[in-house]
Amino acid sequence: MILRQVTAAASLSADELNSDVPPPAQGIKSAVVIIATIPVFLAYPFLQKHFATGMPIGSVKG
């Protein structure tokens, strides 16, 4: 499906590409998912020590 869209877009002229056609919904969803995961990937290395120490503490029965 993506290959078809890329092939179709490659055959369009510059005027056709600049028309007011909204982007496909699947592309928007993919962009939102990628943008939403970036902060998690950036914060995880700094918070990893808290995850590693918190897991054994939560599993110990007293």
| Whole-number Å distance between alpha carbons of 53 and 44 | 14
Is there a domain that residue 4 lies in?
A: no
Q: End-to-end CA distance of the chain: give it in Å, rounded.
A: 55
Using an 8 Å Cβ cutoff, are 5 and 24 in contact?
yes
User: What pLDDT score was predicted for residue 32?
Assistant: 92
User: What pLDDT score was predicted for residue 46?
Assistant: 86
Whose CA is closest to 16, among 28, 8, 25?
8
Pull the structure tokens for residue 40: 């998690």
Domain count along the chain = 1
More confident residue, 12 or 36: 36
pTM above 0.75, yes or no: no
Is there a domain that residue 6 lies in?
A: no
pLDDT beyond 60 at 3: no
Is there a domain that residue 48 lies in?
A: yes
Query: What is the tens place of the pLDDT at every residue in 16-62?
Result: 656 666 667 888 889 999 999 999 999 888 888 777 766 666 666 65
